[in-house]
Structure 1
Amino acid sequence: MRISLNWLRELVDFTITPEELAHKLTMAGFEVEDIEDRRTWADGVVVGKVLSCQPHPNADKLRVCEVDIGSGTPLNIVCGAANVKTDLFVPVATIGTYLPKVDLKLRSTKLRGVRSEGMICSLAELGLEKESSGIHSFDPESGPLGGDVRPLLGLDDVILDLTATANRADALSMIGIAREVAALTGATLKLPEVPESNIPGGNKEVLSLKIAEPQACPAYIGTVIENVKIGPSPDWLQQRLQGAGIRPINNVVDITNYVLLEWGQPLHAFDRQSLQKVTGKDSLTIGVRLAKTEESLKTLDGQTRNLQPQALLITANDRPVALAGVMGGEETEVSAQTQSIMLEAALFDPTAIRRSARSLGMRTEASGRYERGVNQAELELACRRAIGLISELAVGAGLVNNLSCSTESIKSKPAPTSIAQEIADNRPNQSAWTRSIELRLDRVNQILGPIDLGEELGELQPEDIRTILTSLGCEIKPTEEEGIWLVTVPPYRYRDLEREIDLIEEIARLYGYDNFSIELPEETEPGYLSIDQMLTRKLREALRGAGLTELVHYSLGKAEGDGQIKLRNPMFSEYSALRNDLISGLIDSFQYNLEQGNGALNGFEIGRIFWSEEDGLMEADSLAGIIGGDPTVGRWVNSGKSEPMTWYEAKGMLESVFQKLGINVEYQPDCRDSRLHPGRTASLWVQGDRLGTFGQLHPQIRQEKGLPDAVYVFELDLDVLLDQMNQDEILTPVLKPYSSYPASDRDIAFFASTKVSVAEMERVMAKAAGTLLESVELFDQYLGESVPEGQRSLAFRLIYRAGDRTLTEEDIESVHQQVREALTEKFQVTLRS
């Protein structure tokens, strides 16, 4: 928001320089982006009177003027403006004047052989307009000749370009900034005088209200003002609007914009005759409702808007005439022919206005304020302020006698006797605009820490806190307990002062962040990673070492199955539910990578998954990966043909990760996931806990998505994996010396049922062999001729070794026989060797 310091000084009596004020506001949380010193734009430009105006002897479009600037001898000035003529009072830039907006320093010069001793200026040359068709002229009674033009043009001002945070809706008005400056500087606040309402009672035959969306529009005031005289606004009003970056239009519209800047309350003026013409009736029912399908409205910017169902409308006899809280309609705008207006002052719900403006891709000064939330308590005040200015600047004698006001509450109560009475009836309960918050002195000092008192440190005192909060408009009452107050928040800070911590922030902001101690505590503890963070980093290293790339996906995805947590208002259907696994995102990434010509993707992701159960909503951390494509680096050995990765090759990549982490994982047949091949899927187990799933993608999914012949995925429970990694023997491995004695190997072959897993057999063999068994390795499997139905032929190699001696044949044979007997007893195998 652009803040005029001249205007601000009328509201708060401060004496500090613009630079000091900008620093205070910035330190208080209001970023001052620019200081626009308009006093430099016309330094040296004075009021002059054109005494004569003659054609230039050597140029058709130039004039030679004699201009009196009160110095005794008239200046001879060559001017090219078409509107220059005798007896005009004009701004004159004298010799030596620098005009920064056009980067020109005036010097005495000759133009086509005629000496020119200055320049008659346009508003563009003074920085007040982008383009000007001619020179500017003053009223003859504007001031003495030779006087400074800056007060006449509003250039004796400094503008601060200030940005307020989203929670400070009150700072989007001059009154709000004045309150802030008064609190920061201790200066006296002087609010503008607002006349009391003396308007006759409402006449429902002239104007009535019908609010179809009471939540979106909790309060509405409609005031009919007759005998309005439309014309230009006075200079002071135009200059204030221009300083704020708003283009003056006419006196009535300018007044609504002025009140918007002053109080932060958007207003809108309708041409009453146009409303009657649009509806075809003399009596008007002003309504507030949502747009219907295929409705449209031509707004003040000349564009025809196709309205969406979220758009909130102002209607006249149910016909759209304005976008509520955003922009008025072109058909009912105030123009030079307007004789009677209907002034709207309303409260609109921030969410409703945000949806309405977003549905049409619009953002205006009014919608920006409604979206943040306007001050409900000062709605009537802003309305009376606008009516008072209209009566002063836009209506002749007999205003009160010719005014009619019709307002009707949402509950259709009888018409009141005045606007003031109507607001008292319609507005929410006064207690809804204020709240009381308990504030503890100990908590303030605990949060903010010590303050710098020069040579020593101290604490904020109760009187300091009381002074700061009182300057913000808060009421402070002590409680029965010492050091605890009950702070009542003023209505204009109702939206952002909600909790004790908000009050503490205000205390720090007003006292000054730079006044608190910046010393660090005497003893500081160096930062460190938690055990889960260290183990997760180790896990990532192992996965990257196996050739997998880490991927990151959104936590949102399509709503495809049961148990997913679905969003109530998703922005896109592709992101309408929280993901309940990581595999789906990895498959989509694999497909996208292929479609982009990047080849097969080997990657992993660590992320959070979410699901719904009878007990409620659940979440957990998960690890998933995808492996596919030809594992060979070069294809020259295969004549350029790609070879699909086998199940064992993919399993070997995962096994290398487990081996590096020091975890022994067992594989069991599994077919619960319909996305995976039923005969090539295994569940992973570690010490009796289910770790996850590993398997090949189902051929049907592979065919639908155009994936290679063999793609493998795995998904692991990260908590189970980290728990296994967090064991002492893994975190701190014990050195085991190598045996200096030779090893002996024995093979064992047998027929076993296909229903028995190799892992179970290896576990039984290890238990039967005891400490002499160093390792067990499956090296052959056969299914075919000479193998009984329902069985398979397996061959294992067992390595035996002792750490203190060389094993004899008797040592090995006795242990090996125990292994044979255990397999026969446990699994009824048929031994072949």
Structure 2
Amino acid sequence: MRISLNWLRELVDINVSPEALADMLTMAGFEVEEIEDRRTWADGVVVGRVLERQPHPNADKLSVCTVDIGADAPSTIVCGAANVRADIYVPVATLGTHLPIIDLTIRPRKLRDVPSEGMICSLAEVGLAKESEGIHIFPQDSLQVGMDARPLLGLDDVILDLTSTANRADALSMVGIAREVAALTGATLKLSEVPELPVKSGGKDLALRISEPGACPIYMGTVIKGVAIAPSPEWLQRRLQAAGTRPINNVVDVTNYVLLEWGQPLHAFDGDRLRAIAGSSDLTLGVRFARNGETLTTLDSQARKLTDQTLLITANDQPVALAGVMGGENSEVYADTTNLVLEAAVFDSVAIRRSARSQGLRTEASARYERGVNSAELELACRRALALLGELAGGTVDIQTVADARPGGAMATRTIELRLERLNQVLGPIELDKEARPGEGEIGDLPPTEVERILTALGCELTPISAAGDVWRVSVPPYRHRDLEREIDLIEEVARVYGYNNFCDTLPAKTELGFLSPDYALTRQIHHAFKAVGLTEVIHYSLVKPDGDNQIALSNPLFVEYSALRTEMLTALIDAFQYNLEQGNGALNAYEIGRVFWREEDGLYEGDRLAGIMGGDASVGRWVRSGREQPMTWFEAKGVLESAFRQLGIAVEFQPDRRNPLLHPGRTASLWVQGERLGTFGQIHPQERQRRGLPDEVYAFELDLDLLLEDMSDEARITPIFKPYSAYPASDRDLAFFAPIQFSVAEIERAIRKTAGKLLDSVELFDEYRGESVPEGKRSLAFRLVYRASDRTLTDEDIEPVHQKVREALQEKFQVSLRS
């Protein structure tokens, strides 16, 4: 929120510099993002009186003006504005003045051979308008020439651009900031009295029907007759402009002014237009949620399709405004408006948040309702607006109808017990002597008198309830009702206002070096391993489109496209692969570590996954193949995955698998670690590739990260046992046979290792053949078995019995036909 210091000084008696005030507010939890010193925009601009205006002798569109700026002699100024004339008061930038808005320093110069000694300014040149058709003419009849023009332009002000936390709804108003500054500085708060106005209650001209009292606990509608729409007075326009609000007319400006002053959004309807929409002279304003399919054109001329989460204001059940967000174009105040209906209401913060989000719209009003508007001061803000409308628009208050569903008709007072002992326990010791240098003042606990002073300054009422006076019953003011709920909230307020920098710094008695958790350290190893094999890390949203029975849907999503939690990670990786191809970036070789979520009959579950995708030509320099690409094969993709496992020290077994619908049923394998399923690896399903226009050779994998980390953290792996190399030579044997194709190489290799026992040093498949001379339903496999002992050189007598045992085991278990 933009805070005008001139306006603030009318509400609280302070005399501190803008920089000191900004520092004070920042230390109190209000971040001042910018100090906009408007005094620099027109430093050196004075009031001048045009004594004479003559046409320029050498230019048709220029004028030569004689201007009295209070100097010993009038100044000659060449001006190009069409509205310049004699006997007017104007702002004049004198010689040496720098105008930062247009980055111009005024120096004496000649314009078409005529000397000019200054510049008559427009509002755009002093930063008060984006564009100006001519120079600014002061409306006053008599001014002192040579006086500083900044007070007349409203440029004797400093603006603080302040951001408050979400729990401080009261800080989105000038009165709220004034209360805060009064508490921080001890200054006197000067809130003006709002007079009571005679108002007739109810009447057939205006009735209320609140269908959603939970979303609108109180609604006040006031009929005002005989208003005259006109521009607002200059002081009001300047004040709104300083706050970043564009002046429109006196009625709309009053509602915006009260919004800025008290933080209470108001809305003015054209009463005659409301009755035209209602189709009757008997008007009933209502509050209800929209029905699907209804539409409303809002004040920004946007036709909005409404949903059942959109809260509406209706006239005889016809939509006329988005409640708490924006009014409708069909009932807005315009130049010929004479009768008004002023809305003053409190809406539920959750209802307004959902309503505004459903329309993708956020306004000054909705921002305040979303944080929570103080309903206790609703009547006061309404009276303030009615008084200003009578003063500035000549309106006469007719009737007022109120629908109040608040418990007891108003917000109940909250009382909290506060213990001094607990306060000092939480906050710790303070420097009692603030004037002493750091470390030299007296250290002690916060005295009870200081606690009482701070909380009283914040508007609380304290009643001692202990003999020692160190326990109080604190009554919270209505404007802090949503913020101060517990004892710890009061303790926080004391610390904030007293100053966090006044509490003693204490360091832990002992410190220890930081370290990575075991799982995080192992996860970093996984990142290094998969990057080392050429995969790039990517990150996708965990939110996806709803599509699946076992998905977990969000109850309050930001967008329909992201309204469910993902159950797998391959779809997003395939999307990324497709996007890179369409953008001409080539095949994407990537991996991702993330979390998936799913629903089962007995509850909701989540787990971490490691997924990846590969494809394309991995080689560089295709000139040896005449520029032709060589797509990655299934075994090359499998080798990339195995290389990463080898770096991680994981022994993974591959088994045929057909369960993943995204993967090719004949080219998919399940991965197993020590008898537990680790994940799936395979080629993208042909139908999926065809649907997305992907090349044939695209491969993907998805692994259970928790199981992978569990295996990597095994004690036997973390502390490897040294095994010496054998000093004796090895002896190898080749074993070739025809094997039925239903048996995998992994199964055969596992049987060989188990049968051969300790003498077998390694086994490797070096040939596979299918085709001519191979029996139907079989394939030719050739393995090389390496035998070695650690204590002797093996002889044929040692090896042959073991090798023969392997042959017999393969014949018995897999029905192989031996060729060697």
TM-score normalised by length of structure 2? 0.83
The 8 Å contact of residues 45 and 97 in structure 2, kept in 1 or not, is answered as: no
Structure 1 equivalent of residue 184 of structure 2? 184
Matches of residues 678-697 of structure 1 in structure 2 within 5 Å?
Answer: 678-697=665-684
User: 1:148 & 1:824 partners in 2: Cα distance?
Assistant: 109
Report Cα offsets for 1:296-333 as digits up to 9, x if no partner. Answer: 666656x3645544655444344454444344456655
Match of 1:407 among 401, 404, 409: 401
Per-residue deviation, 1:393 = 4.5
The 8 Å contact of residues 45 and 94 in structure 1, kept in 2 or not, is answered as: yes
Match of 2:719 among 732, 740, 745: 732
The 8 Å contact of residues 433 and 494 in structure 1, kept in 2 or not, is answered as: no
User: 1:336 & 1:442 partners in 2: Cα distance?
Assistant: 63
> 2:15 aligned with 1:2, yes or no?
no
Structure 2 equivalent of residue 455 of structure 1? 439
Matches of residues 522-533 of structure 1 in structure 2 within 5 Å?
Answer: 523-533=510-520
Match of 1:716 among 675, 691, 703: 703
Structure 1 equivalent of residue 458 of structure 2? 472
- Give the partner amino acid of 1:268: H
Structure 2 equivalent of residue 131 of structure 1? 132
Per-residue deviation, 1:382 = 0.4
- Give the partner amino acid of 2:18: P
Per-residue deviation, 1:171 = 1.7
- Give the partner amino acid of 1:378: E
Matches of residues 750-765 of structure 1 in structure 2 within 5 Å?
Answer: 756-765=743-752
User: 1:514 & 1:165 partners in 2: Cα distance?
Assistant: 20
User: 2:480 & 2:486 partners in 1: Cα distance?
Assistant: 12
Per-residue deviation, 1:664 = 2.4
Structure 2 equivalent of residue 414 of structure 1? none
> 2:188 aligned with 1:194, yes or no?
no
Query: Which is further off, 767-776 or 91-100?
Result: 91-100
User: 2:54 & 2:325 partners in 1: Cα distance?
Assistant: 52
The 8 Å contact of residues 682 and 695 in structure 1, kept in 2 or not, is answered as: yes
Structure 1 equivalent of residue 435 of structure 2? none
User: 1:481 & 1:808 partners in 2: Cα distance?
Assistant: 100
Q: 1:274 to 1:134 in 2, by over 3 A?
A: farther
Structure 2 equivalent of residue 14 of structure 1? 14
The 8 Å contact of residues 695 and 714 in structure 1, kept in 2 or not, is answered as: yes
> 2:529 aligned with 1:542, yes or no?
yes
- Give the partner amino acid of 1:171: A
Per-residue deviation, 1:174 = 1.0
Q: 1:590 to 1:440 in 2, by over 3 A?
A: farther
Q: 1:778 to 1:728 in 2, by over 3 A?
A: same
The 8 Å contact of residues 75 and 118 in structure 1, kept in 2 or not, is answered as: no
Q: 1:208 to 1:743 in 2, by over 3 A?
A: same
Q: 1:618 to 1:99 in 2, by over 3 A?
A: same
Structure 2 equivalent of residue 390 of structure 1? 389
Query: Which is further off, 120-129 or 25-34?
Result: 120-129
Query: Which is further off, 385-394 or 434-443?
Result: 434-443
Per-residue deviation, 1:181 = 0.4
- Give the partner amino acid of 1:287: G
Q: 1:687 to 1:271 in 2, by over 3 A?
A: closer
Structure 2 equivalent of residue 649 of structure 1? 636
Percent of aligned pairs with the same amino acid: 64
- What is the SS of the residue equivalent to 2:253? helix
> 2:479 aligned with 1:492, yes or no?
yes
Match of 2:792 among 801, 805, 818: 805
The 8 Å contact of residues 95 and 117 in structure 2, kept in 1 or not, is answered as: no
User: 1:511 & 1:471 partners in 2: Cα distance?
Assistant: 11
The 8 Å contact of residues 76 and 115 in structure 1, kept in 2 or not, is answered as: no
Structure 1 equivalent of residue 174 of structure 2? 174
Per-residue deviation, 1:614 = 1.5
Per-residue deviation, 1:770 = 3.5
Structure 2 equivalent of residue 160 of structure 1? 160
The 8 Å contact of residues 208 and 286 in structure 1, kept in 2 or not, is answered as: yes
- What is the SS of the residue equivalent to 2:207? strand
Report Cα offsets for 1:107-152 as digits up to 9, x if no partner. Answer: 9999999999988876666655553645534555x77787766555
User: 2:329 & 2:772 partners in 1: Cα distance?
Assistant: 91
The 8 Å contact of residues 267 and 344 in structure 1, kept in 2 or not, is answered as: yes
Q: 1:79 to 1:568 in 2, by over 3 A?
A: same
> 2:328 aligned with 1:341, yes or no?
no
User: 1:520 & 1:5 partners in 2: Cα distance?
Assistant: 39
- Give the partner amino acid of 1:627: M
Query: Which is further off, 634-643 or 377-386?
Result: 634-643
Query: Which is further off, 60-69 or 624-633?
Result: 60-69
Query: Which is further off, 208-217 or 17-26?
Result: 208-217
User: 1:385 & 1:160 partners in 2: Cα distance?
Assistant: 25
Structure 2 equivalent of residue 224 of structure 1? 223
Q: 1:347 to 1:721 in 2, by over 3 A?
A: same
User: 2:643 & 2:115 partners in 1: Cα distance?
Assistant: 93
- Give the partner amino acid of 1:164: S
Structure 2 equivalent of residue 286 of structure 1? 285
Q: 1:798 to 1:186 in 2, by over 3 A?
A: same
User: 2:783 & 2:568 partners in 1: Cα distance?
Assistant: 38
User: 2:805 & 2:103 partners in 1: Cα distance?
Assistant: 103
> 2:258 aligned with 1:259, yes or no?
yes
- Give the partner amino acid of 1:29: G
- What is the SS of the residue equivalent to 1:3? strand
> 2:376 aligned with 1:377, yes or no?
yes
The 8 Å contact of residues 297 and 305 in structure 1, kept in 2 or not, is answered as: yes
User: 2:148 & 2:624 partners in 1: Cα distance?
Assistant: 92
Specify every segment of 5 or more residues in structure 2 that has no aligned partner in the other structure, as ranges: 433-437
Specify every segment of 5 or more residues in structure 1 that has no aligned partner in the other structure, as ranges: 410-424
User: 2:150 & 2:216 partners in 1: Cα distance?
Assistant: 44
Q: 1:806 to 1:380 in 2, by over 3 A?
A: same
- What is the SS of the residue equivalent to 1:407? strand
Q: 1:612 to 1:498 in 2, by over 3 A?
A: farther
User: 1:568 & 1:286 partners in 2: Cα distance?
Assistant: 31
The 8 Å contact of residues 124 and 132 in structure 1, kept in 2 or not, is answered as: no
Q: 1:579 to 1:136 in 2, by over 3 A?
A: same
User: 1:485 & 1:577 partners in 2: Cα distance?
Assistant: 49
Matches of residues 511-660 of structure 1 in structure 2 within 5 Å?
Answer: 511-517=498-504, 520-521=507-508, 523-568=510-555, 570=557, 575-630=562-617, 633=620, 635=622, 641-660=628-647
User: 2:161 & 2:23 partners in 1: Cα distance?
Assistant: 13
Report Cα offsets for 1:478-506 as digits up to 9, x if no partner. Answer: 78899887655433234444566655554
Q: 1:324 to 1:592 in 2, by over 3 A?
A: closer
- Give the partner amino acid of 1:206: D
The 8 Å contact of residues 94 and 118 in structure 1, kept in 2 or not, is answered as: yes
TM-score normalised by length of structure 1? 0.82
Structure 1 equivalent of residue 661 of structure 2? 674
User: 2:64 & 2:666 partners in 1: Cα distance?
Assistant: 99
Q: 1:520 to 1:746 in 2, by over 3 A?
A: same
The 8 Å contact of residues 45 and 97 in structure 1, kept in 2 or not, is answered as: no
- Give the partner amino acid of 2:266: L
